[in-house]
Amino acid sequence: MIKDIIKNLKSSSTLKINEISNKLESEGKKIYKFGFGQSPFQVPIDVIDELKNNAYQNKYLPMQGLSELRTAISRYASSQNNQNYKAENIIIGPGTKELMFLLQLLFDGDILLPTPSWVSYAPQALLGRNKVCWIETTSENNWFPTAKEIEKTILKNKDKNYLLFLNSPNNPSGQICNNLKEISFIAKKYNILILSDEIYSELSFNKGFKSISEFYPEKTIISNGLSKWCGAGGWRLGYFIIPEALTELKNSIKNLASETFSSVSAPIQYAAIAAYNNNHDEYINNSCSILKAVGEYVYENLKSNKININKPQGGFYLMPEFLIEKFSTSEAMCSNILEETGVILLPGSDFGFSKKRMIVRLSFTDFNGHKFMQNMEQTKKINLNLISKFAPKIIEGTKKLKIWTESI
């Protein structure tokens, strides 16, 4: 009755870990939610007000998205990336995850995924019946592929079509890609399609983000949305910016969208206009300052001769590698850490790494960002006292993880 390809599909590990976390918490257990990654901050109040004001909107909207919203996004994204994006090349979806799935569904070729990659890229490729080609990376290159590694993979079969997923700042590593030019050179050479997942772009800590569309605009699809910078993950609104040269692909996505989600919630779209039209620089800068301070606290307290870890550069993740040999798999190690400390982590095997590598993803968002931001605005300074007061579970969980590591 059920297709084999669906039978073999597992539940998304990030959503599953969130359910496990909530269940354990409801049972009265003291846990530290370092597994599930979502913004700890409240949606800006002006955007919330617009949602309230438009709650009465109950009509189906155009499948491609509200014209006023697409215009607002085109202006906003153009200023962010120093480009000139057109509203007619933007598609609004119920989160970027759905749009990525439609892209993988229509794409005829192989999917190039850096190791590590976000948990849903590979399962979506499977559902789209596309082969995944994993590309090895190193911490020295911020866990992004070199042009040489990409080319080596392509040369195994030059006649294929290729779609490269590039996510910077990255989930799960928290790193920013610094070799965009060399990647764009190889992409042009072999006519590769690129999906630039820029969902964390506004959360770059040192304003170090650049879009690969700056170097390869003709075949780069930009993916972004409200969930990370605006704290609106549950609102489910994302978008694609598709270049003129890919009009046929854009029309195919529109056709698929018309037979799947039809259109995104009307009240959410109207509220999103305020998110992209109004100035939220202070909100974003404060978010980045808090996340940077909290992330660097965890980094400074975990780095040791038993843990390799890169300093966070954006988003809200760290990716420690434990230099221990006690466990056979990273999943077994995460289970032991949860049992011994209450700290919930995701194993690196969920992101494309070998199960034998003791790599995990750590999300440093288990705190009330709204209260933290309110008090930060009053003090204008983030120090250890402020982190201890408004992110106590980050402090406690990090200490427990450090003690556990030293005991192994």
pLDDT (0 to 100) of residue 277: 98
CB-CB contact of 398 with 301 (8 Å):
yes
CB-CB contact of 333 with 23 (8 Å):
no
Q: What is the DSSP string of 184-220?
A: HHHHHHTT-EEEEE-TTGGGBTTS----GGGT-GGGE
Residue type at position 121 = Y
pLDDT (0 to 100) of residue 14: 66
Give yes or no for residue 379 having a pLDDT over 70. no
pLDDT (0 to 100) of residue 381: 80
pLDDT (0 to 100) of residue 207: 82
Q: What is the mean pLDDT of the chain?
A: 94
Calculate the dihedral angle through the C-alpha atoms of 249, 252, 254, 255, rounding to the nearest 10 degrees.
Answer: 180
Q: Which of 4-8, 140-144, 293-297 has the lowest mean pLDDT?
A: 4-8
Nearest to 338 by CA among 254, 277, 266, 397: 397
CB-CB contact of 250 with 265 (8 Å):
no
Q: Dihedral of CA 136/137/138/141: which sign?
A: positive
pLDDT (0 to 100) of residue 29: 84
pLDDT band at 141 (very low <50, low <70, confident <90, very high): very high
Rounded to whole angstroms, how far apart are CA atoms 356 and 371? Answer: 40
pLDDT tens, position by position, 35-80: 988 999 999 999 999 999 999 999 999 999 999 999 999 999 999 9
Task: Summarize the confidence of residues 200-225 as an average pLDDT.
Answer: 94
Two tokens, residue 34: 């370092």
Task: Summarize the confidence of residues 236-251 as an average pLDDT.
Answer: 97
Task: Summarize the confidence of residues 135-156 as an average pLDDT.
Answer: 96
pLDDT tens, position by position, 70-121: 999 999 999 998 899 999 999 999 999 999 999 999 999 999 999 999 999 9
Task: Summarize the confidence of residues 135-150 as an average pLDDT.
Answer: 96
pLDDT tens, position by position, 303-360: 999 999 999 999 999 999 999 999 999 999 999 999 999 999 999 999 999 999 999 9
Contacts of 28 (CB under 8 A, 6+ apart): none
CB-CB contact of 239 with 213 (8 Å):
no
Q: What is the DSSP string of 55-75?
A: TT--SPPPTT--HHHHHHHHH
Pairing of strands 317-318, 360-363: antiparallel
* CA 29 to the chain's CA centroid: 28
Give yes or no for residue 365 having a pLDDT over 90. yes
Two tokens, residue 108: 């005829």
Rounded to whole angstroms, how far apart are CA atoms 298 and 319? Answer: 11
pLDDT (0 to 100) of residue 408: 83
Two tokens, residue 87: 């509203």
Radius of gyration of the chain (CA): 21
Taken in order of first residue, the domains within the chain and their CATH numbers are: 4-43+281-407 (3.90.1150.10), 59-277 (3.40.640.10)
Residue of 15 and 407 predicted with greater confidence: 407
pLDDT tens, position by position, 1-45: 888 787 777 777 766 777 877 887 788 788 999 998 899 999 999
Contacts of 321 (CB under 8 A, 6+ apart): 139, 307, 308, 309, 348, 357, 358, 359
